[in-house]
Amino acid sequence: MRKLFATTVTSARPREREYKLTDGAGLYLLVKPNGRKLWRLNYAYLGKQRTLSFGAWPDVGLADARERRDEARKLIAAGLDPSHEAKLAEARAMLSEENSFKLVAEEWVAKQEREGMSEVTLSKIRWLLAKAYPRIGSRPVAKITPQEALAVLRSIEATGRYESARRMRSVLGRVFRYAIATTRAEMDPSRDLRGALTVPKAKHLAAITTPKGAGELMRAIEGYTGHAITLFGLRLSAHLFVRPGELRQAEWSEFDFDRSVWNIPEQKMKMRRPHRVPLSTQVIALFEQLWELTGTGKYCFPSFRSPLRPMSENTVNAALRALGFSQEEMTAHGFRAMAATLLNETGKFNPDAIERQLAHMETNAIRRAYTRGEYWDERVRMMQYWSDQLDEMRDGARVLKPNFRRA
C-alpha cells in the first residue's frame, strides 16, 4: 500500500469537498475544504468500525501520527479500545491538574484534625505548609519532582532554619504518602532527600540540674508576683515535669482526684500513647487552690484572652525570664531535665520508672520488649518523694545526695 511522504502532506491543497490521503494500517490525513488537515485512524473493535483522532497537522507531524497509530494498534492487539483509553488518559490528566499539592495537603490536615491531632502540632504543620505553597502549592501533586521538593527545603535552609527544613521534609512526605494512599500520586519525591539536608546541631534545652540550683529556683517561683494562674503553672511544672504543652492544655475532666491521678489522652501526647501522672499530696493541694480560679471552665490553665483556649506556650518561659532566669539557664522544658537528673542521681528509683514517668519511648526495640511494665506503684512513690524533695530544697533543708555507688 502506498504511503504518504512529508512533502505530500505539506503540499495537499483544499478542494470543494473533504478528501483523504491514506498512509496505511488505517491512518489517513483528512483534508477539509477550509484547508485544515486532520489525522484520523480507522480501526475495528469488537466487530464495530471506529475512528480515532490524533490531532491536526502541522501540530502533529507525519512521524508523530505514525507513532500514535502504532501505539493504538498495540492497544487493540491487547484487547483494549484506543478511543476509550484516550478518554481515560484525558480524565486522569484533568484529575491530576485538579489535585494540586495545596488541595491534597489541606485535605490531609483536615483528616489529622478529625483524628485528634493537637492544635499546637496542627499550627506548626500549617506554618510549614504555608512556606511550601508559593513554590509547589498549585502544582499537580502527582507531577512534583524531587528537584521541586528539594527547592522548597533549600529555601528554608537558606534562612538558617535547618531543623525547620528537616521537619518540612517530614511533613511533605506525609502529604505525598496520603496522596499515594488516595490514588492521586504514585511516588513520594521527598523520600530520598534526607541526605541532602544540613544536619542541625543538637540543642540541649537549658535546665537547672543541681539541688542548690533547684532550691533557688523554687524559692524564686514562690516570689513570683505576676498572674496567679501563671504562678500555679510554674509550681506544677516543677512538681509534675510533664511536657509544657501537656500541662498548659490540661483539662479538669482529665483529673481523678479521688484516685490521685491525671489521665492524659493519647492525642495530647507526643508519642500518641495515653499517659498517667500520679498526683502527690502537694500537687492535689495546688490544684484545689487553682480550682478556685479556673474550675468553672474547661482548661486548668486558660488563656488570658479567652477561657475557650489554653494558656499560651510562651507563658511559663516568659515568667522564668521575669524571675531573672535567662534562656541559657532555665526553660519550661527544663523542669523535665531537672527532675530526671536529680531523681536518677539519688539511686532510689529504677531508671525505667523515671523514663516511663517522662513518657519517653524506648528506642531500642529489644529493650522496649522487656520494659513494657508501667512501674505504677514505684512511680506513685517517686512523685510523692519528688514533691517532698522540692519542698525541702525550697526551704533550704536537706537536699538530694547523689548515690555514686549504684551500679
**Span 1-59, pLDDT tens digits:** 568 888 889 899 999 999 999 888 889 999 999 999 999 999 988 888 889 888 899 98
The domain that holds 131 is classified in CATH as: 1.10.150.130
> Among 61, 96, 131, which residue terminates a domain?
96
Q: What average pLDDT does the chain have?
A: 87
Q: Specify if 205 maps to a domain.
A: no
pLDDT of residue 357: 94
Please identify which of the residues 370, 398, 401, 406 carries the catalytic annotation. 370
pLDDT for the residue numbered 372: 46
pLDDT band at 195 (very low <50, low <70, confident <90, very high): confident
pTM of the full predicted structure?
0.55
Average pLDDT over residues 219-236: 95
- In this structure, are 271 and 372 located in the same domain? yes
Q: What is the pLDDT of residue 80?
A: 85
Percentage, residues of the chain above pLDDT 70: 90
Domain check: are 360 and 332 in the same one?
yes
Same domain for 247 and 231? yes
Q: What CA–CA distance (Å, rounded) separates 166 from 173?
A: 11
Boundary of a domain, candidates 96, 117, 146: 96
51, 108: one domain: no
Same domain, 266 and 344: yes
Is 403 within a domain?
Answer: no
**pLDDT for residue 371 is more than 60:** no
Same domain flag for 238 and 275: yes
Question: Is-catalytic flag, 275?
Answer: no
The b-or-e profile of 365-401 (16+ CB within 10 A means b, else e) is eeeeeebeeebeebbbbbbbbbbebbebbbeeeeebe
Residue 96's pLDDT band, with cuts at 50, 70 and 90, is: low
| Statement to judge: residues 265 and 379 lie in one domain | yes
Catalytic residue among 243, 248, 275, 394: 243
- Say which CATH number the domain at 31 has: 3.30.160.390
**Could you tell me the CATH number of the domain that includes residue 288?**
1.10.443.10
Q: Which of 268, 336, 356, 394 is catalytic?
A: 336
Indicate which residue of 143, 333, 348, 381 is catalytic.
Answer: 333
248 assigned to active site: no
CB 197 within 8 A of CB 276: no
Is 204 a known active-site residue? no
Question: Which of the residues 270, 321, 348, 381 is marked catalytic?
Answer: 270
Asked if the structure places residue 328 within a domain, the reply is yes
- Is residue 399 in some structural domain? no
Within 10 Å of residue 403's Cβ, how many Cβ atoms?
Answer: 11
Let me know whether 337 and 244 are in one domain.
Answer: yes
Residue where a domain stops, chosen among 167, 196, 225: 196
Residues belonging to the chain: 407
Q: Does the active-site annotation cover 385?
A: no
Active-site annotation holds for 368: no
Domain membership of residue 189 as a residue range: 101-196
Judge whether 166 counts as a catalytic residue. no
User: Does pLDDT of 214 surpass 90?
Assistant: yes
